[in-house]
Amino acid sequence: MSQRVALITGGARGIGKQIALALARKDWNVAICYRTSEDDANETVSLINEIGPIGYAEECDVSDPKAAQNLVKNVEKKFGRIDALINCAGPYHRTNILKETTEGWNSMFDNNLHPVFYLNQAVSEGMIDREWGRVINFSMANADKMMAQTEVTAHYIAKAGVLMLTRAFAKQLAPHGITVNTISPGFVNSGSAPEDELQVMVKRIPAGYIGSTKDAVDAALYLVSEEAAYVNGSNMILSGGWGL
The CA distance from 73 to 70, in Å, is 5
E-state strands within 142-233:
178-185, 188-189, 211-212
Distance of CA 212 to the CA centre of its chain: 16
Active site residue 156: yes
CA distance 44 to 8: 12
Candidates 137, 166, 2; CA nearest to 82 is: 2
132: alpha, beta or left, given left = phi > 0 and alpha = psi -120 to 50?
beta
**Angle 14-25/213-223 helices, nearest 10 degrees?**
50
In one-letter notation, the amino acid at residue 119 is: L
Catalytic pick among 156, 209, 222, 230: 156
Distance CA 201, CA 207 (A): 12
Question: What's the CA gap between 45 and 185, in Å, rounded?
Answer: 25
Q: Where are the alpha helices (DSSP H) in 178-233?
A: 195-201, 213-223
- DSSP string for 168-180: HHHHHHGGGTEEE
Note whether 61 and 33 are within 8 A (CB). Answer: no
Active site residues: 156
